[in-house]
Amino acid sequence: MTPLISITGLTKTLKGQGEPRTILAGADLTLHSGESIAILGRSGSGKSTLLSLIGLFDRADGGQYLLNGNDITRIPERKAAALRSEEFGFVFQRFFLLKHLSAVQNVSMALVNGQGWLPRRKRKAKAMEALERVGIGHLAKHKPPRLSGGEQQRVAIARALVRDPKILLADEPTGALDTETGNLVVEALRSATDRGCGLILVTHDHDHAAKMGKVMQLTNGVFENSNQRVVV
């Protein structure tokens, strides 16, 4: 089966004010439908940089990036923006919820500017379903200030899932949460793979990483152990 993502020899050098710095020096990664990958690496090792290349917020300098078998290594921004909204869901350490809207309204907002118009009632039904998928359907009417950090992050996950992305990218989604709450969030993310979504989780937490199907360690701009499979 064609992988969702196939990345080979990806390189990225950042040119700031000082000397150019090579962040990625030939990273390889393959993600299939229904697969989950954790990316570990010390602070500054380039995990977020790699995720921003995968999520098409930025482009690599070299190497190859195939999405569903199509070469998108040098895709122009207009096409990248369309792919970002069609193919990807994003979850970050910060939740970015709108405080004055309820949980279900925050999730339905993601359907307002999508491909294909949906009437309000259908948007709400889809948003409710997404909240139920992450175990917080009963909190649909609550506004973010009344929700715990873990609950807010699960609203953010529901918002990412409501558009049925093929790939979910999560950048330290448990960074602001305690371990137990983080476990619920990681389980909510992992459960997305049951429906065929591919998941890439950037984390510092080895226990959370071990819940993914595969763990990859980013060191000096390359993956150390890209063939290592973790049995959970």
Stretch that binds ligand ATP, among 39-47, 55-63, 79-87, 105-113 (CB under 6 A): 39-47
Contact, 158 vs 134, CB < 8 A?
yes
Contact, 155 vs 103, CB < 8 A?
yes
x/- track of binding to ligand ATP for residues 160-199 (CB under 6 A): ----------------------------------------
Classify 49 as helix, strand or coil.
helix
Among 44, 62, 114, 196, binds ligand ATP (CB under 6 A): 44
Which of 43/227 has CB closer to ligand ATP?
43
Q: Closest distance between ligand ATP and the C-beta of residue 45, in Å?
A: 4
Among 4, 5, 23, 37, binds ligand ATP (CB under 6 A): 23
* Count of residues that interact with ligand ATP, criterion CB under 6 A: 11
Distance (Å, whole) CA 169 – CA 178: 21
Which pair of structure tokens corresponds to residue 72? Answer: 């998108």
Which of 54/128 has CB closer to ligand ATP?
54
Edge-to-edge strands of the sheet including 214-219?
A: 88-91, 167-171, 198-202, 36-40, 214-219, 222-223
Whose tokens are 């954790």? That residue is: 38
Stretch that binds ligand ATP, among 28-36, 40-48, 117-125, 205-213 (CB under 6 A): 40-48
Stretch that binds ligand ATP, among 42-50, 106-114, 119-127, 145-153 (CB under 6 A): 42-50
41 lies in the site for ligand ATP, by CB under 6 A: yes
Mention every residue, 6+ apart, whose C-beta is less than 8 A from residue 227: none
Stretch that binds ligand ATP, among 44-52, 83-91, 132-140, 205-213 (CB under 6 A): 44-52
Which pair of structure tokens corresponds to residue 86? Answer: 């069609």
Q: Closest distance between ligand ATP and the C-beta of residue 115, in Å?
A: 30
User: Which residues are registered as beta bridge partners of 167?
Assistant: 88, 198
- Say if strands 5-14 and 62-67 run parallel, antiparallel, or are unpaired: antiparallel
Q: Closest distance between ligand ATP and the C-beta of residue 20, in Å?
A: 9
- Reported residue count of the chain is 232
Nearest-CA neighbor of 109 among 159, 170, 147, 169?
159
Among 1, 19, 20, 43, binds ligand ATP (CB under 6 A): 43
Site residues (vs ligand ATP, CB under 6 A):
14, 16, 23, 41, 43-49
